[in-house]
Structure 1
């Protein structure tokens, strides 16, 4: 990477329901101390991010959030074009080549993503193996 003068970026995604947890509180004697929580329409949030590192530079975090409320026609999560837009934003913000390391998530290895990666000459992608006994000897 020093030879390429590139940023080393690790990518991952996460999702979280926006439903609040049930909580315990006080109540009258003989009644269960529960707080009723309505979860209808609370939705979920998806987050995709890159942690980027380059020698003699400060570490950077580039991320995008997507909130899904369950409305008709609303995106439920990140797709190939969303990942490509995130990578384009990282390239513009970092101002250099990117060596990307990510997992074998189905949206990372399909034909649409391979096509989008092929159109970006500044991007080199490495994927973790599905299972490597050398990395996990336990």
Structure 2
């Protein structure tokens, strides 16, 4: 089993990996050797040998997930709920009236004003993705754009040019 390119695992992925390790422990208890377990579970031999050594020393507890790696985020669940509501209100409700777009810089200022904590832009972007928000680039169109003329051009002019 390979780790994703981006690094960390979700809770579901960690649970799946733990189930695989527990399967390996059952196979070790049944008398199978690490190379046989590796083949059966489609994992590396190195992992199977490491699991076997841990299982021999400490049993199933050695194969339990140790939880997410890294430092826990300072962004608390209650803060996330507040931030989601604030983003739904729009930038104008928080003092940005020149345009109605949320940027990472603006969201960072919003969070800093409310919670007195600064997050880097990449970290804030990750938090927003975890919350279900996605990057959206606004479509820039001329104010003078006439949709009827555009449709007519596509049907008539573009159709002639495309035939050539």
TM-score of the pair, normalised by structure 1: 0.24
What is the TM-score with the length of structure 2 in the denominator? 0.22
More strand by share: 1
Q: Which one has more relative contact order, counting CA pairs under 8 Å at least 6 apart?
A: 1
Computing the radius of gyration from Cα coordinates, the structure with the larger value is: 2
